[in-house]
Structures are given as structure tokens and as C-alpha cells.
A and B are shown apart, each in its own frame.
Chain A
Amino acid sequence: MTSRRPYVESPVIMSTVRLVAPFVLTFGIFVTLHGASSPGGGFQGGVIVASVIVMLSFAYGIDLTWEWLDKRVLVGITAGGVALFGGIALGAVLLGGQFLELAVYPVKDAVKYGIELVEVGIAMIVTGVIVSLFFALARGAMPPAGETDADTERGGNEAAATDGGNGSASPSAESTDGGENA
């Protein structure tokens, strides 16, 4: 391991992910919202949306993506999904119906739009749980602080430095000082 040069993040993977990730995100949202008319739904769409974050982690480094990610948003969408589903279910009770009786909402096609909102809630739960699970498994129980970790951090920072001018939206651009303190 010492004789080999340190691993540098692959530009092929990074540019491919930068190209593909918006489409995967869009497709995940499509699968979630279009689950009423075609195969799909909240569980599938949530997994596809979560795989965008997984994809970014593999392209730009797991630690850098974790630092780039806003944890409040992560917790918010997970708990918000449960709140959305529960809110729709209990709102029907407030309007005089049964628990989860979607037909009592006073809008046209209430059941259909209720179902789609529920799917959105499920997708939020699944996305949040899978992203959290991924980072918990990938970052939890790290190996003892040794040269492997140091090499990883250095490789990540080099990639970020050579890759610096690619817009502020990508995780690598704002990670140059963030990679040291993991």
C-alpha cells in the first residue's frame, strides 16, 4: 500500500454522477407522484431519490457528502413524512370522517389527491431512513485511526482542490476545509 500512489477521486465517476444525478432525482419524484397512474409509489420513489445521495457519496467521498448534507433537512423530511401521513389520516377525523377516510376532504377527486399526498409522505420517510442508514453504516464504527484514514482524507482533498472550479452546488467545491476533522 505504501508503494502505490494515493487514490485520487476519479473524474470519470464525478462527471458521470454530475450528469446523471438530476435525472435520477427527477425520475424518483416522477415515480412517487405518478404512482397513481403507472407502476411506482412512495416506497420505490423514495429509494430512487435516496440513491441520488448515495451516488453523490460515492463520487465525491462519503465524509464530504455527509458534511455537505444539512442534517436538519434529513431529520425534517423523515419526521415530516410521518407527520404528513399521520396528518392526512387524522385530518379526516377532524372533518368528521373515519381515520384515513380520504373521501371527506372537500376537494374534487379527494381520494386521488389524498393518495398522492400519502405517497409523498411515504417517499419522504423512505428517503430519510435510507440516507441515514447509509451514512450510519458507512461512517459508524470506523477503523482505528491509522494511515488508511489519513490517505483517504488527503486523497479527497486533492480531488477537491483539482476540481475546485466547478460551481458551488457540488459537494466537492465547499469541502476543502471540511475534510480534515472527521
Chain B
Amino acid sequence: MITWIEGGLLLFVVLTALMTAMLRDVLAAIIVFGGYSLGMAILWVVLQAPDVGLTEAAVGAGVMTVLFLVTIARTTRMTGLEVTTVDVNWSAAVLCVVFVFAVLATVPALPAVGAGPEANPAFGEVSSYYIENAYDDTHVENVVTAVLVAYRGFDTFGEATVVFAAGVAVLTVLRREVFE
């Protein structure tokens, strides 16, 4: 059901996620979060989603840690703390765990991975159409790119302009300090 490498990676990802939430020192939490992104990238590779894995690798290793660092560089940081983890609100933690298991109980009802249109009415037909016709329609070998730009070009156009608008908005907020 679950392979050894998936099990090891899931253990790694869950451990790093928990440590990111628990560590009191912000810098240590950022370091552990870098480890989380490494584990997620390998997990995407195992799940045969190299495009997502490449995004996770580039963002996680290239800019995310750095952006967090330059942000907390402008704040004050508590040092020399005796306790290394934050205090846990146990009732809230138990509630979260119960909720997670309640949601996980619905997973067996989902259609199997790669199931055909009859088992997976929401995505089956359109996925198989993309896989069968993408190369003939676009002459692009990577079907993810074909879907991203050719079939779902409107979404991507919106996405790109949202990135642009968000960048402009952030710069508008921070403009006075940056360009002084």
C-alpha cells in the first residue's frame, strides 16, 4: 500500500512540519522549514510530478529561506532561551488530531489514482483528453506545459498578472523605505 521510500519521506516531512511549529527559536524553525521543502521535493519526484518538484526545489532552496531570513533580520529575536519548544495547548492539539483523522476517514472513498472517467467523473475525461491529444494539438512534449499555457491559458494569464499585481502592491507599501 505504501512503499518504503514514501514511508520514510512522509516521516521526514511530518517530523519537519511538527518541528517547524514547535521550535521556539525562529531561525531554527526557518532552518527546519528548509528541510521540509527538501522532503516535499523528493516526495513529488516519487509521485512522478517533476514539474511540481522542480518548483518546490527552486522556491524552497532558492528564495523562500532567504526571504524569511531577510524578514526576521529586521526584527528582534529572543536568544538564550532555556526551553527549545513552545508550550503546547494540548486540548487544541487533540482536537486537531481528531479532526485530521475524521478527514482522513473519507480518503478510502476517493477514486483510485489514475482511475478512468467512469470512476472519477470530476477529472477523468478531461485528463485523458489532455494526455491523448496534447502533443497533436500543440507539438509540446511536456503535457503539463501544454495544459498550463495552451489549454488553460486564461488561468495562467490571470496567475501571471496576479504575481505582477502582488509585487506592485508590496512595493507600493514598502516604497518609501526602499527608494529613500
Contact = CB atoms under 8 A, between A and B. Distances in A.
Given A81-B164, A132-B167, A47 B62 contact: yes
Interface residues of A, number: 54
Contacts, number: 142
Given A125-B160, A142-B177, A115 B54 contact: no
Interface stretch (B14-22, B66-74, B105-113): B66-74
B149 A115 contact: yes
A93 interface: no
A1 interface: no
A38 B174 CA distance: 38
B139 to A, nearest CB: 4
A39 to B, nearest CB: 4
B179 to A, nearest CB: 8
B51 A39 contact: yes
A112 interface: yes
B178 A44 contact: no
Interface stretch (A14-22, A116-124, A161-169): A116-124
Interface stretch (B78-86, B92-100, B151-159): B151-159
B140 A115 contact: yes
Interface size class of B (residues with CB under 8 A): 35 or more
Contacts of A121: 160
A102 B149 CA distance: 10
B23 interface: no
Interface in A69-98: 78-79, 81-82, 85-86, 89
A125 B165 CA distance: 10
A41 B58 CA distance: 12
B70 A138 contact: yes
23 contacts: A36-B140, A36-B145, A37-B142, A39-B50, A41-B51, A41-B144, A47-B62, A47-B63, A51-B61, A54-B66, A62-B70, A78-B164, A100-B157, A102-B150, A111-B137, A114-B149, A118-B156, A119-B149, A122-B156, A130-B63, A132-B171, A136-B171, A140-B174
